[in-house]
Amino acid sequence: MSPPGAVRLLDVQGLRKHFPIRKGFLRRQVGVVRAVDDVSFHVEKGETLSLVGESGCGKTTTSRCILRALTPTEGRILFHAASGQVLDVAALSKRELQPLRRQMQMIFQDPFSSLNPRRTLLDIVAEPLVANGVGNREERLARVVELLRLVGLRPEYMRRYPHAFSGGQRQRVGIARALALNPSLVVADEPVSALDVSVQAQILNLMQDLQAQLGLTYLFVAHDLSVVRLVSDRVAVMYVGRIVELAPTEAIFATPLHPYTEALLAAVPKPDPRLRGERLLLEGEVADPSNPPPGCHFHPRCRYATEQCRTETPSLQEITPGHAVSCHRARELSLRGVAE
């Protein structure tokens, strides 16, 4: 975990993103999907914070709001810009956002569809430089050479097209493009889930090396807890639009405090046939974010639920330093984690 007094890079406060459900000829609004529903967290400079959860939990929507690919419905996203100013990304206009976009970049999930097949590596990696008017032609060329080396690709290949490269190599190109403008925050949405196991490890190692070398801050969005464990300093677990638990990585895995985190950890197949045994199975399905259950959203699937859980919505509370959980029974339950 980061030392006390670490600098905050990003501060998300009460973020909400609601999508209207429209129906009929007049497209009247008949409901609302609360994709992100009152989410608060911060990211410190140089750390990796992971957002984890199952499909529909709002992790991707949260990351898109931070990059302002989506405009939040409510809440503040305070970004500590390189200039020293603190800006609310959620409130800025498109023009005001422009200079900030250089400082926040994204690595995409699918290295096949995120690279334009008709452009060479040189064009792809140089594009952010061109778009932001950085340098002249020679300077950009030199920067692309430098970037390709940085991500472990041979600069001689820069006049080739993406189809000539494997999935792992393409993901390296995507990383080089994201780093072209020296961003301080990199949002990586499932960066290795489309890759083969043997290639996943290469990309995860590369991301960690680059972080150490360039002092990058990562917001890592993933569903694979094994991957999250390898790269994160802190982990936020999301369920139906809310953060249910946020803690340093060791704590989330060793001593989870939320029953959903416990179930999520138990569901991950252990890569050792000798560890087979009776498993804690989570019944039922993820709640519908347009019509979530009252009280704690998790209560219909929770084995520890009481009457209070059915009616009262728990709030995220710090139980031990740095370990926050949103569960009425957090102090009395002793849940099972995963030991090293």
Partner 1 sequence: MNRPILEVRDLRTYFFPEEGTVRAVDGAHLDVYPRRTLGIVGESGCGKSVTARSILRIVERPGRIVSGSILLRRDNADAGVDLTQLTPDGREMRHIRGEDIALIFQEPMTSFSPVHTIGSQIVETVRLHQGVGKRQARERAVEALRLVGVPSPERRVDEYAFQLSGGLRQRAMIALALSCSPRILIADEPTTALDVTTQAQILALLADLQRREGMAIILITHNLGVVAEMCDEVAVMYLGRVVEQGPVDTIFHDPKHPYTRALLRSMPSIKARVRSRLPVIEGSIPHPYNRPPGCPFHPRCPEFMPGRCDQIEPPSLAVGDGHDAACLLYGGPAG
Residues in contact with partner 1 by CB under 8 A are 54-55, 166-169, 196-202, 204-205, 208, 223-227, 229-233, 249-250, 253, 263-276, 279, 281-283, 285-286, 338-340
Are 340 and 251 a contacting pair, CB within 8 Å? no
State the nearest-atom distance from the C-beta of 8 to partner 1, in Å.
20
State the nearest-atom distance from the C-beta of 287 to partner 1, in Å.
11
State the nearest-atom distance from the C-beta of 310 to partner 1, in Å.
20
State the nearest-atom distance from the C-beta of 5 to partner 1, in Å.
21
Q: Among 154, 157, 85, 88, which residue's Cα sits nearest to residue 121?
A: 157
State the nearest-atom distance from the C-beta of 73 to partner 1, in Å.
25
In the complex with partner 1, the residue whose CB is nearer, 205 or 308, is 205
In the complex with partner 1, the residue whose CB is nearer, 12 or 203, is 203
State the nearest-atom distance from the C-beta of 246 to partner 1, in Å.
16
Are 317 and 326 a contacting pair, CB within 8 Å? yes
In the complex with partner 1, the residue whose CB is nearer, 11 or 224, is 224
In the complex with partner 1, the residue whose CB is nearer, 24 or 273, is 273
Are 26 and 49 a contacting pair, CB within 8 Å? no
Long-range contacts of the stretch 200-209 (C-beta < 8 A, 24+):
200/227, 202/168, 203/168, 203/171, 203/172, 203/175, 204/230, 204/231, 206/151, 206/152, 206/172, 206/175, 207/175, 207/231
Are 199 and 152 a contacting pair, CB within 8 Å? no
Q: Which two tokens stand for residue 159?
A: 């006049």
In the complex with partner 1, the residue whose CB is nearer, 130 or 267, is 267
189: amino acid identity, one letter: D
In the complex with partner 1, the residue whose CB is nearer, 332 or 340, is 340
CA atoms within 13 A on the CB side of 292: 23
CB-based contacts of 314, cutoff 8 Å, min separation 6: 296, 326, 327, 328
